[in-house]
């Protein structure tokens, strides 16, 4: 089993990119969170940043966005499609998801 949080696609210079730093999306004041907190609400891909996957979550009924860097655009798209089946899980549960099929 290879949990999402340990996948080599998120490893840069020996540091994992999961979980991302979470930035509040609707506040004029800069609010951020760290860690596997909140509930997963979806992902976004952007053509101009194909190796980045933007992960959405909600914490204390407030929306947050995090950015996960990957080594290649194909994996980012595969992960985006895979995660659509897990909306509503906690971010910790998302980190626990088995991604061994992507190796």
| 24 domain residue, yes or no | yes
pLDDT at 56: 98
**H helical segments located in 2-72:** none
The per-residue pLDDT for range 4-45, each reduced to its tens digit, is 999 999 998 888 899 999 999 987 677 899 999 999 999 999
| 29 domain residue, yes or no | yes
pLDDT at 43: 98
| 61 domain residue, yes or no | yes
pLDDT at 14: 85
pTM for the full predicted model: 0.93
| 103 domain residue, yes or no | no
Measured CA to CA, the distance from residue 56 to residue 46 in angstroms comes to: 14
| 73 domain residue, yes or no | yes
Range 50-64 average pLDDT: 96
Query: Can you give the residue range of the structural domain that contains 76?
Result: 17-86
Domains: count for the chain: 1
Judged by DSSP in three states, 23 sits in: strand
* CB atoms inside a 10 Å sphere around CB 98: 11
Measured CA to CA, the distance from residue 73 to residue 47 in angstroms comes to: 9
The per-residue pLDDT for range 62-71, each reduced to its tens digit, is 999 999 999 9
């Amino acid at each position: 089993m290879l949990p999402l949080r340990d996948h080599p696609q998120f490893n840069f210079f020996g540091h994992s990119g999961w979980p991302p730093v979470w930035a509040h999306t609707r506040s004029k004041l800069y609010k951020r969170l760290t860690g596997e907190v909140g509930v997963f609400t979806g992902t976004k891909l952007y053509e101009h940043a194909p190796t980045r996957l933007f992960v959405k979550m909600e914490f204390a009924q407030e929306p947050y966005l995090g950015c996960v860097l990957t080594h290649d655009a194909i994996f980012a798209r595969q992960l985006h499609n895979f995660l659509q089946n897990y909306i509503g899980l906690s971010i910790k549960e998302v980190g626990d998801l088995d991604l061994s099929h992507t190796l």
